[in-house]
Chain A
C-alpha cells in the first residue's frame, strides 16, 4: 500500500549507447541486468560493465524474431504489475526439425522476475522455484515430487538459444545450450535446465493466450493454439468420471422403473392350448382357436410357441383377430432346432420355442388364427405302391409337430429399458474415448509415445 505522502516508485528506463552501432540501449531492469541486447544491431552486450562491452557481435538479421509482447509492455497479472524486459527464442532439434518456442522475461522491482513461454499458441506463466523437487519414479519413467504433486517426465532435450532481445539477469548469448527436461502434472509443468555449472528449476502454469492478451492489453486476439501441449489441461478431466456417475444413477432409475412395471403389470394368460400338426393330415392346415377375452388397459401381448421339434423346422402364420371390430395383428414365427455331433463335439442351433410381442393390444374379444407349415406341407401324402408294372411314387416322409400356444396380455417386456440403457451408455463411452484421444495426442510428442506405453 502506498502512503498518501509518498508516491509509489515508478520504474524508469535508463538509456546507454551500443558500442557496436551507437544506437540507444534502454535498461528497465533496475540494475539487475547482466546482459542486454541492442535492439538495432542485435549485438549482445555485457550490462555489468559501464561501457557495455560486446559479448557477441550482431546477430544475423535473418534470425530476428518479433516478440508478441513488445519489450516495455506492462501488464497486471494476479494483482502485480509486470514489465516485459527481455525476449528470447530457443529451440530443440529432433530428426532434423527445429522446434522453437518463445520466452518473455517479466520484471517487477519488488516481485523479481517471471517468465511467459509460448509454443504454437500455448502459453505458460513460469516462476522459478526456491526449493528443489524430490526425484522419484512413476512406473518405469522418471518423475519429480513437488508441493504435493507428482510430475511425470515428459521429454528431455538439448535446447539452444536462437535469438535474444532486451535484457536478462543472467549471461545469455545466441547458441547457448542447456539440457531441458519437462515433468508434467497438467496444468503444471516443472522444468529443469542443466548446464555444466548448475541445475535450475521452474514451475509453469498453463495459461490461455486470451488471458495474456487481456493482462498486457495487447492488440488483436491471441493466436489459436495448435495441437495439444504437454501440460494443457484436458477439457475432459472430471467429465469422464462425472458422466459415468450419471450413467450409473440413470441406470439405477431405469432399473427401478422396470421393476415397478414388473410389479404393477397385470400379466394375464388369456390362451393356453396344445395342438398337433402333421403333413400327413389331409385338408386345410389353418384353424382358429376358441374366443377369449382380453381385459384391462391397452398393453402389449406376448405369444409363445413351444414345440417338440428336433432337427426340423416349422413355420406358423398367426393372426390375433378382434372378433368385434375385425382388426387383426398379423405376424409369423419360425421355430427350428437342430442338434448333432461332429469333430468339434456336440452342437445345437436354434430353439424349440419362439415368442412374439404384439404391441398395443386393446381390450376386447379375440381369437387366434393359426396356420402351421412344415417341410412336405405342400406335397401330397404318400400313397400305397400301385400294382407292379405301374410307375412307383416316392413316398414322402410325414412331418409331425406337437406344440403349445400361450398368449399373455399385459406382459412387461424389458426391451425398451435395455435399449434405453444401451443409449445411456453412448455419451460416457464417447467422453472416455475423447479423453483418451486427448491424452494420446499429448503424449505422442513426448519421449514416451503411447505406442511404447506412454499414454497411460
Chain B
C-alpha cells in the first residue's frame, strides 16, 4: 500500500497522544518527591523545595 508507512506513523501519533492524555502525562518540569515528612504540615519552612534556588527573571524591557 502506497501510504502504509505514513498511516502506521499517523496511528502511532494518535494512539500516543491519546494514551499520554488519558494517563495524564505532561511535558512540564515537575519533580516527584517520596516520603515528605508529616511535620511539613506544621512546619512548612522545614521543607526544602527543589526549586528554591531556581534562577529568577528580574527583567523587563
> A residues bordering B, Cβ < 8 Å?
239, 242-243, 246-247, 250, 253-254, 257-258, 261, 284, 286-288, 298-300, 311, 313, 315, 317-319, 321, 323, 326-332, 334, 336, 338, 340, 342, 347, 349-350, 356-361, 367, 369, 371, 373, 375, 412-413, 415-417, 419-420, 423-424, 427
- Do the beta carbons of B21 and A358 come within 8 Å of each other? no
- Do the beta carbons of B31 and A416 come within 8 Å of each other? no
- Do the beta carbons of A347 and B6 come within 8 Å of each other? no
Q: How far is the CB of B59 from chain A (nearest CB, A)?
A: 7
Q: How far is the CB of B22 from chain A (nearest CB, A)?
A: 8
With known contacts A242-B2, A311-B60, A326-B36, A286–B16 Cβ distance under 8 A = no
- Do the beta carbons of A416 and B21 come within 8 Å of each other? yes
Contact with A along B20-56 (1 / 0, CB 8 A): 1111111111111111111011001101011110101
> B residues bordering A, Cβ < 8 Å?
2-3, 6-7, 9-10, 13-14, 16-18, 20-38, 40-41, 44-45, 47, 49-52, 54, 56-61
Task: Report the bound CA distance from A338 to B57 in whole Å.
Answer: 11
- Do the beta carbons of A359 and B26 come within 8 Å of each other? yes
22 A–B pairs (Cβ distance < 8 Å), ordered by A: A239-B2, A242-B3, A246-B3, A246-B6, A250-B13, A257-B17, A284-B45, A286-B44, A317-B51, A321-B40, A326-B35, A331-B28, A334-B54, A336-B57, A340-B61, A342-B61, A359-B30, A369-B49, A413-B21, A415-B27, A416-B17, A427-B6
- Do the beta carbons of B44 and A331 come within 8 Å of each other? no
Q: How far is the CB of B13 from chain A (nearest CB, A)?
A: 4
- Do the beta carbons of B14 and A250 come within 8 Å of each other? yes
Q: How far is the CB of B56 from chain A (nearest CB, A)?
A: 5
- Do the beta carbons of B26 and A358 come within 8 Å of each other? yes
Task: Report the bound CA distance from A371 to B45 in whole Å.
Answer: 8
Q: How far is the CB of A95 from chain B (nearest CB, A)?
A: 41
Q: How far is the CB of A246 from chain B (nearest CB, A)?
A: 6
- Do the beta carbons of A420 and B33 come within 8 Å of each other? no
- Do the beta carbons of A326 and B37 come within 8 Å of each other? yes
* Other-chain residue from B14, B33, B45, B60 in contact with A327 (beta carbon distance below 8 A): B33
- Do the beta carbons of A416 and B25 come within 8 Å of each other? yes
Contacting residues, chain B, for A258 (C-beta < 8 A): 21
* Other-chain residue from B30, B32, B35 in contact with A356 (beta carbon distance below 8 A): B30
- Do the beta carbons of B31 and A331 come within 8 Å of each other? yes
The 5 closest A-B pairs by CB, nearest first: A332-B51, A338-B60, A300-B24, A420-B17, A317-B49
Contacting residues, chain B, for A334 (C-beta < 8 A): 54, 56-57
Q: How far is the CB of B31 from chain A (nearest CB, A)?
A: 4
Task: Report the bound CA distance from A23 to B58 in whole Å.
Answer: 97
With known contacts A250-B10, A286-B47, A420-B16, A413–B26 Cβ distance under 8 A = yes
Contacting residues, chain B, for A317 (C-beta < 8 A): 49, 51-52, 54
- Do the beta carbons of A371 and B21 come within 8 Å of each other? no
Task: Report the bound CA distance from A247 to B13 in whole Å.
Answer: 11
With known contacts A246-B6, A360-B25, A427-B6, A319–B41 Cβ distance under 8 A = no
Contacting residues, chain B, for A420 (C-beta < 8 A): 13-14, 16-17
* Other-chain residue from B25, B36, B52, B54 in contact with A321 (beta carbon distance below 8 A): B36
- Do the beta carbons of A359 and B3 come within 8 Å of each other? no
Q: How far is the CB of A268 from chain B (nearest CB, A)?
A: 14
Chain A residue with Cβ nearest B56: A315
With known contacts A300-B24, A317-B49, A331–B38 Cβ distance under 8 A = no
Q: How far is the CB of B45 from chain A (nearest CB, A)?
A: 4
Chain A residue with Cβ nearest B43: A284
Chain B residue with Cβ nearest A375: B58
Q: How far is the CB of B57 from chain A (nearest CB, A)?
A: 6
Contacting residues, chain A, for B35 (C-beta < 8 A): 326-327
Contacting residues, chain A, for B29 (C-beta < 8 A): 331
- Do the beta carbons of A330 and B17 come within 8 Å of each other? no
